[in-house]
Amino acid sequence: MRKLLVLAPVLLAGCTSLDPTYRTPAAPVPVSWPVGDPYRAEAPALPAFTHRDVLRDVRLQTLVAQALQNNRDLRIAAANIAAARAQVRITRANQLPRLDSAAGVEVTPRRDQDGDIDGVRVGGSASLLPSFELDLFGLLASQTRAQQERLLATGAAERAVRVALIGDIADAWLTYAADTSLLSIAENTVAAAERSRVLTEARLRGGVAPRTDLLQAVQVLETARADLAEQRARRAQDANLLQLLVGAPVDPSLLPRSINEAAASIAALPAGLDSRILLRRPDVIEAEYRLRATNADIGAARAALFPRISLTGLLGLASSTLGGLFSGSAFNFSAGADASYSIFNGGAARANVALARAEQQAALATYERAIQAGFREVADALADRGTLGDRVAANQRNLSAVNETLRLVTARYREGLDPFLNVLDAQRSAYATERNVVAVQLAAAQNRVAVYRALGGDGV
């Protein structure tokens, strides 16, 4: 038996693998991103990068660092990795010799010639049961490889959670900045509407404005006050979301003061013309590891078609009394080999092979779909990126024009040259345009985060 245990690793190393030959599938997407309008020319290559290259504000980097320590989704992902690692060890253990033990004690009464009990008889037994399965056709090895690939897939899934978390924090931080700017706009609008109401009320008392002008000014003022209250609630909700993502209370000093300040801290990355960069996306990596696992599953299913050979042995100790348990006469030894093969199982073994092949085809389609979805995400982000600069510039020019219009019509109203309706229209236009500027600034900054996400997050 000792020789068999020594030879076990050698027999294991020499087993045959019935896994199909694995070849990485070709990417089912064009070799380059879309070009021409509305896309912009991109750099020909993309070096490795981290989220600090994109999120350059120290406050945002601090929030990300806190989230990587505290976020519950990441803790779940880490627990999943630990579970997958333990599963690999469990499966791997099947390839190694097994040693079981058993022991027992039996107490029986001892009687004299008259049948009376004059004592007890104590007996005991102990045994060591070594066993080992010869993996001649690679069944156990294929099962281990499948679990190892699934462990790597779980690790890639954890990285996908990290990338999503970093992107979500950046988006929430930018949204808080935008809502802070919108809150400031609402406060300024309330102040301007209050000045218009005071002015209109003075003109009404002077007999140069109708009462309808005052009522319209009050309507504008109260609408602005309602918007202000709503904006306060939105900003508070933004802070709550950040706290959820970070997994801990957020220091107010880490929050941005305006979208202008926050957007300027988000850097743009070159996308690179070669679409093979998608292969480093964590969801694509996860899908390929799962595809590799199904490839090993086919090998395991094929190997299950062949006989299974096990080596077993028995090293036993038995005695009628505990005192003689370890005497030479109490020692027993036996060894043997068993081979098992299912003669008839209703075709279940071959069906398992067919099942494994079908699951491999599904995993292949999932892998290809992940690449195609990644290609679309990058292409969509680049399409937005190619036009957002023009949209920001156009909205800024429009804001300058409506502010000048508001200044002129307000002056003409003071002089009695224009009706108050012109002032109201100019105020509404200015308010809407200011909000549009904030919205497009937010979209431009979040687009740079979207490119970071679409390219797979931190480079590896």
pLDDT at residue 418 in the model: 80
**Rounded Cα gap, residues 398 and 214, in angstroms:** 29
Q: How many CB atoms lie within 10 A of CB 35?
A: 11
Q: Answer yes or no: are the C-beta atoms of 395 and 437 closer than 8 Å.
A: yes
Question: What is the percent of the chain where pLDDT is above 90?
Answer: 22
Per-residue pLDDT reduced to its tens digit, 122-161: 666 666 666 666 666 777 788 888 888 888 888 888 888 8
pLDDT at residue 41 in the model: 38
Show Cβ contacts of residue 312 under 8 Å, excluding neighbours closer than 6 positions: 129, 130, 131, 132, 335, 336, 337, 338
Least confident of 63-67, 157-161, 236-240, 316-320: 316-320
Angle (nearest 5°) at CA 145 between 141 and 151: 145
Mean pLDDT score across all residues of the chain: 78
Position 14 confidence tier, pLDDT thresholds 50, 70, 90: very low
Paired with 174 in beta bridges are none
pLDDT at residue 426 in the model: 87
- pTM tops 0.85, yes or no: no
The DSSP 8-state label assigned to residue 309 in this structure reads: E
Sign of CA dihedral 363, 368, 371, 377: negative
**Rounded Cα gap, residues 160 and 68, in angstroms:** 13
pLDDT at residue 448 in the model: 92
265 — phi, psi (to 5°)?
-90, -5
**Rounded Cα gap, residues 286 and 159, in angstroms:** 9
| Average pLDDT rounded to a whole number, residues 258-264 | 94
Q: Which residues of 103-116 are buried (b: 16+ CB within 10 A; e: fewer)?
A: eeeeeeeeeeeeee
Tokens for 214, please give them.
């005052």
**Rounded Cα gap, residues 180 and 236, in angstroms:** 10
Sign of CA dihedral 206, 212, 213, 219: positive
Per-residue pLDDT reduced to its tens digit, 327-363: 555 545 555 555 555 655 657 778 888 888 888 888 8
| Average pLDDT rounded to a whole number, residues 267-278 | 69
**Rounded Cα gap, residues 38 and 307, in angstroms:** 63
Per-residue pLDDT reduced to its tens digit, 17-35: 667 777 777 666 555 545 4
| Average pLDDT rounded to a whole number, residues 226-233 | 93
Per-residue pLDDT reduced to its tens digit, 424-456: 888 888 889 999 999 999 999 999 999 888 888
Strand extents, DSSP E, 265-327: 308-319
Position 60 confidence tier, pLDDT thresholds 50, 70, 90: very high
109 — phi, psi (to 5°)?
-70, 145
Q: Which residue has the tokens 């609408």?
A: 223
Q: Answer yes or no: are the C-beta atoms of 367 and 284 closer than 8 Å.
A: yes
Burial class (CB in 10 A: 0-12, 13-18, 19+), 217: buried
pLDDT at residue 271 in the model: 54
Per-residue pLDDT reduced to its tens digit, 317-334: 545 444 444 455 554 555
| Average pLDDT rounded to a whole number, residues 94-119 | 68
Q: How many CB atoms lie within 10 A of CB 326?
A: 11
Largest Cα span, the chain: 137
Sign of CA dihedral 436, 439, 445, 446: negative
**Rounded Cα gap, residues 27 and 212, in angstroms:** 67
pLDDT at residue 374 in the model: 84
Position 213 confidence tier, pLDDT thresholds 50, 70, 90: confident
Cis peptide upstream of residue 38 (ω within 30 degrees of 0): yes
Better pLDDT: 303 or 251: 251
- What is the three-class DSSP state of 45? coil
pLDDT at residue 9 in the model: 47
pLDDT at residue 373 in the model: 86
Q: Answer yes or no: are the C-beta atoms of 218 and 193 closer than 8 Å.
A: no
Winning range, highest mean pLDDT, from 27-31, 88-92, 177-181, 211-215: 177-181
Q: Which residue has the tokens 């900045």?
A: 177
Better pLDDT: 61 or 192: 61
Residue 334, CA distances (Å) to 1, 144, 381 in order: 9, 31, 71
Distance, CA of 36 to chain centre = 33
Q: Looking at the predicted structure, is the pLDDT value of residue 262 above 80?
A: yes
Closest CA to 45 of 30, 29, 33: 33
Better pLDDT: 163 or 313: 163
